[in-house]
């Protein structure tokens, strides 16, 4: 994509940004295999499930970068959906991973997962800013406009996704306790 004449690409497509995103996405998906090694089949399964959830988050972002982020109305914005769903998915996945890999209890695992995801989502906002500064993209705001409002709403959606994941885990834990 870096060698294609930019006049042939849609106006929202930035080859440098897409190349950087693709590289970072591949790193994110494969990183668990580098850091979490085990011969235990349950731990291997936990690592694979984590990678699958990272892949799902990457696909949601990738679909946005390919044009779905342009879908926006007063009632629906794909960007806000992604900022809600990714933290939800990743907190649930990381909590499950923490329970299975590190044999943590549910409470400790969800706290750890929430902190990791919270750091990651704010890191994402920094990545968007760096992309705009270094690559000339317009990822912050809505294609470079309403930057502060968009960042605030993105952050709220990220936090709501994390909070819903915690609520789901609490209800799951409560139901499991009542069952026993």
- The pLDDT profile of the chain, 180 residues, written as one tens digit per residue, is 456 666 666 665 667 777 777 888 899 999 999 999 999 999 999 999 999 999 999 999 888 877 787 777 667 788 889 999 999 999 999 999 999 999 888 889 999 999 999 999 988 888 777 777 776 666 655 555 566 777 888 899 999 999 999 999 888 877 766 675
The set of residues, in sequence order, having a beta carbon less than 8 Å from that of 93 and lying 6+ positions away, is 49, 50, 53, 54, 113
Q: Are 122 and 155 in contact (CB under 8 A)?
A: yes
The set of residues, in sequence order, having a beta carbon less than 8 Å from that of 140 and lying 6+ positions away, is 125, 128, 129, 132, 147, 150, 151
pTM of the predicted model, to two decimals? 0.79
Residue with tokens 């989502």: 121
Q: Are 69 and 79 in contact (CB under 8 A)?
A: yes
Burial 104-118 (b: 16+ CB within 10 A, else e): bebeebbebbbeebb
């Amino acid at each position: 994509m870096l060698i294609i004449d930019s006049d042939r690409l849609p106006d929202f497509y930035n080859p440098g940004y897409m190349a950087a995103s693709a590289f970072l996405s591949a790193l994110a998906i494969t990183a668990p295999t580098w850091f979490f090694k085990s011969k235990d089949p349950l731990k291997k399964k936990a690592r694979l499930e984590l990678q699958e959830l990272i892949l799902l988050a990457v696909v949601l972002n990738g679909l946005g970068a390919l044009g779905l982020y342009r879908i926006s109305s007063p009632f629906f914005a794909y960007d806000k959906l992604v900022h809600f769903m990714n933290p939800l998915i990743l907190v649930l996945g990381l909590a499950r991973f923490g329970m299975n890999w590190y044999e943590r209890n549910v409470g400790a695992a969800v706290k750890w997962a929430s902190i990791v995801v919270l750091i990651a989502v704010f890191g994402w906002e920094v990545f968007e800013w760096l992309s705009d500064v270094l690559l000339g993209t317009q990822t912050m705001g809505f294609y470079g406009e309403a930057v502060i409002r968009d960042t605030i709403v993105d952050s709220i959606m990220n936090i709501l996704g994390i909070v819903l994941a915690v609520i789901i885990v609490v209800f799951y834990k409560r139901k499991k306790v009542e069952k026993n």
